[in-house]
Structure formats: structure tokens, C-alpha cells
Amino acid sequence: MAGNPFARLLEPLFARARARDLWRRREIRASPQAPVIQVGRETLLSFASNDYLGLANDPRVVEALCAGARRYGAGAGASHLLGGHTGAHHELEGALAAFTGAPRALLFSTGYMANLALLTTLCPRHGQVFEDRRNHASLLDAVALAQARRHRYRDIAGLRAALAASGPGGLVVSDGVFSMDGDMADVPALLALAKTKGAGLILDDAHAFGVMGPGGRGTPAAHGLDYDTALVRMGTLGKAFGVFGAFVAADADVIEALIQRARPYIYTTALPPAVAASAQAALDLVIAGDDRRATLFDNIRRFREGASALGLRLLPSPTPIQAVVFGDASRAITASGHLRNRGLYVPAIRPPTVPQGSARLRVALSAAHGADDVDRLLEALATSPEASA
């Protein structure tokens, strides 16, 4: 290692990850995202993707990508403010505003960047942010980048107490669907509490758009809420939409402020226009997707009933994200390996992604799964050596 300036830093990091069974590795997939995937020589039934409606490989979505590329070329070639913004982007923003019921929507290259943009634009330095402890890493990083004063809350009671102890204003920030546990935030309570202090609510609905609520319009809609000026929503196009990119749907002035000020919006290349065209096709399928959502919720019900009957430790979740908790990282890895030997791909999620002692299998269900796929998973779980311990 002599001569490598990074070794002193990296060796301890690697040693720690290896010792605690936290080593991460990538699979190399050779097929489209679908329930059945090809990984090397293995053919696997996958419960690992966020492609909840099976749109990632839908022929209409793929064709829209090709047609978009033929019309606009491969890349945007510039940022949105310097000539990268095309008709494909603009139309999609209009359609996303209509879909979400918000006055305006703005496209971002990724959800991660959209969250950085939101916090750094809507939170003044040293402003106060109230964040759920389980928020997605991109929101936590966004709060850090904004140099906010952070209050982390565990539940609604914790938020109420933190707000009561603070001055007016600020931001409440939450996932709509918690990405590792699968449960939904109590959006009406969050919004009502935020409003008592004149605070805004930033809701990251990455896992909810397309899936939860009437028409797949997200967690506020699932709770019967309409558009609200105090509510700013982020959604990604890389999950239920099956494509890539992200958007913010909000009050027109909030959107304008992002265009004027948000560095993760201004200083980056616009999403490829073909991707926007493809996302438009996906949005059309999301809107017309009641049958897909019905199939998805049948699969969710089937899995939960079957897993409960097996005595597995399931977290409460009405969403496609179903966590089977094993505790130790090594037990979750053993269970994942057991499934893998039976041709099933269900990743183990370990700390620090989830809290110590709550390592789990994260089962992600899709409308593209059949009932027989869910049954195959349940049968394999039933014979897992770790399942009943």
C-alpha cells in the first residue's frame, strides 16, 4: 500500500465493513427490469425493483424513448436555463402539474437533486427544519447542505413537541412512504401541525406517486387531501413511472424560486428530452393504471397474508414495500442467500441503511408479478432456516 495516499483512509473503512457483514456489492443484470431477470448465468425472480407498475419495459414507454431520441437526439446538451429545456420537458411539466393538482411542476434530473434544491432554496441558513428520523438519505443530506437547524422527530407527538418548543416558521420534511419500512406518513397531521406554526411541509412522495391514492396521485390524495399552498411535493420518475428523473409539484412562486435560485437545478445538464418523452408515455399509463394498481394491491395482500401465516416478522405497510425483519445483518444475509439458491432475488438491507438490529429482507412487489410469483416467494421463505428463529 506504500505510495497510495488513500490507503490510510480506506483500509479501516473496508475492514469495518467486512467485519460487520456490511460489504455491499453490485449485481450485473443483462436483461430489462422485470419480474424475471438475468444476472450472469442465473435467471432470477426479482423482488428488488421499484418498478411497481411494470412500466420500465412497457413497449409504449420504450417506443416513446426511441421516438424522443429520433426527434431531439440523445442528450439535452445544456442546462435548462441555457438552451437545454425542450418542448418534451415543458409538456411533461404541464402534465405533471395537472396530475398532481398543483399549479406548477418542475423537472429535475434526479430525486436526490430535487431534494437538495428544495431544502437549499426554501430554508434560509440556520432556519429550522423538523425532519422524520426515517427520512430518505437525500433529504437528510439536503438538510445538511442547507445548513439548517435540525430537529429530528420520531412520531407525530415528537413533532408536536418540537414545534411547540420552537419559534414560528420553518419546514417540516417527511417521506410520504418510508422507503425501508413501507408505511405511509400521516400527511394530514403533518400538514395541520406545520400550519399551526406557519411552517411549510415538504413531502418526498418518491414511492407513492403512481401507486398510492386514487389514480396513483400520492399520499396526500390517499388521505383525501387536495392541493394545498403549504405543501410542496417531490416525486421521482424512476420508480413507479419506470423511467428516470424527478419533479417538484408546488405553488407557482415556489417553482419560480427553484428556477431562479436552486443550484442543483441551474448548474446541471437537463434531463435528456427523450427521457421526458418516455416519462410522458409512462404518465399516461399511470393515469390509466387502475387495473395495474388493483393487481399490485392483490399481490400485496397475498404476500402479507402468506407471510403472517408463516409467522414472519412483517412491518405494518399498505404499500409495495414489505420489510421482513430478521435483526442481525448476518441472519438477513443468510435468508437472502437461501432465497437466491432457490432462484429468488430479495436483497438484505443492513445498517446503516436501517437502524442497528433491524436488518431485513426488503420485498418490493409489482403489478408485473403474478400470484404464482408471490406464492413462490412465500414457499421459499417457509423453508428459510432463519425464518422462524
Q: Which residues pair with residue 130 across a beta bridge?
A: 151, 172
Q: Running DSSP on this structure, what letter comes out for residue 355?
A: -
Query: C-alpha distances in angstroms, 231 versus 102, 115, 187, 195?
Result: 9, 14, 10, 10
Choices 200-208, 283-291, 325-333, 359-367 (CB under 6 A): range interacting with ligand PLP: 200-208
C-beta of residue 209 within 8 angstroms of C-beta of residue 220? no
Report how far residue 128's alpha carbon sits from residue 162's, in angstroms, rounded to the nearest whole number. Answer: 11
Q: Running DSSP on this structure, what letter comes out for residue 79?
A: B
Q: If binding is defined by CB under 6 A, does position 209 make contact with ligand PLP?
A: no
Q: Least distance from C-beta 372 to ligand PLP, angstroms?
A: 28
Which among 49, 138, 174, 179 is annotated as catalytic?
A: 179
Measured from the CB atom, the residue of 185 and 312 that comes closer to ligand PLP is 185
Q: Least distance from C-beta 242 to ligand PLP, angstroms?
A: 12
Q: Least distance from C-beta 388 to ligand PLP, angstroms?
A: 31
Q: If binding is defined by CB under 6 A, does position 207 make contact with ligand PLP?
A: yes
Residues 68-97: x where in contact with ligand PLP by CB under 6 A, - otherwise, as a string: ------------------------------
C-beta of residue 273 within 8 angstroms of C-beta of residue 68? yes
Q: If binding is defined by CB under 6 A, does position 51 make contact with ligand PLP?
A: no
Determine the Cα angle at 174 with ends 200 and 189, to 5°: 65
* Interface residue with ligand PLP, options 110, 128, 174, 317 (CB under 6 A): 110
Q: If binding is defined by CB under 6 A, does position 246 make contact with ligand PLP?
A: yes
For residue 207, indicate whether it is catalytic: yes
Grid coordinates in use for 110? 434526479
Q: If binding is defined by CB under 6 A, does position 278 make contact with ligand PLP?
A: no
Q: If binding is defined by CB under 6 A, does position 134 make contact with ligand PLP?
A: no
For the beta sheet containing 321-327, the strands, ordered from the edge strand earlier in sequence to the opposite edge, are: 321-327, 359-364, 348-349
Choices 123-131, 144-152, 202-210, 320-328 (CB under 6 A): range interacting with ligand PLP: 202-210
Report how far residue 247's alpha carbon sits from residue 108's, in angstroms, rounded to the nearest whole number. Answer: 5
Report how far residue 339's alpha carbon sits from residue 343's, in angstroms, rounded to the nearest whole number. Answer: 7
Measured from the CB atom, the residue of 52 and 112 that comes closer to ligand PLP is 112
Which among 80, 85, 151, 207 is annotated as catalytic?
A: 207
* Interface residue with ligand PLP, options 112, 241, 303, 326 (CB under 6 A): 112
* Interface residue with ligand PLP, options 93, 175, 181, 251 (CB under 6 A): 175
Report how far residue 371's alpha carbon sits from residue 294's, in angstroms, rounded to the nearest whole number. Answer: 13
Report how far residue 114's alpha carbon sits from residue 200's, in angstroms, rounded to the nearest whole number. Answer: 16
Measured from the CB atom, the residue of 187 and 381 that comes closer to ligand PLP is 187
SS3 per-residue string spanning 249-305: EECHHHHHHHHHHCHHHHCCECCCHHHHHHHHHHHHHHHCCHHHHHHHHHHHHHHHH
Choices 9-17, 108-116, 121-129, 157-165 (CB under 6 A): range interacting with ligand PLP: 108-116
Q: Least distance from C-beta 50 to ligand PLP, angstroms?
A: 7
C-beta of residue 180 within 8 angstroms of C-beta of residue 320? no
Q: If binding is defined by CB under 6 A, does position 362 make contact with ligand PLP?
A: no
Q: If binding is defined by CB under 6 A, does position 236 make contact with ligand PLP?
A: yes
For residue 239, indicate whether it is catalytic: yes
Q: Least distance from C-beta 193 to ligand PLP, angstroms?
A: 20
Compute how many residues bind ligand PLP; rule: CB under 6 A.
13
Question: E-strand spans in the chain?
Answer: 36-39, 42-46, 104-108, 128-132, 149-153, 171-175, 200-204, 231-236, 246-250, 321-327, 344-345, 348-349, 359-364
Which residue's Cβ lies closest to ligand PLP?
A: 111
* Interface residue with ligand PLP, options 136, 233, 331, 376 (CB under 6 A): 136
What is the amino acid identity at position 315?
L
Measured from the CB atom, the residue of 166 and 353 that comes closer to ligand PLP is 353
Examine residue 316 and say whether the peptide bond preceding it is cis (omega within 30 degrees of 0). no
Q: Least distance from C-beta 206 to ligand PLP, angstroms?
A: 3
Q: Least distance from C-beta 200 to ligand PLP, angstroms?
A: 18
C-beta of residue 174 within 8 angstroms of C-beta of residue 132? yes
For residue 195, indicate whether it is catalytic: no
Where do contacts with ligand PLP occur on this chain (CB under 6 A)? 110-112, 136, 138, 175, 179, 204, 206-207, 236, 238, 246
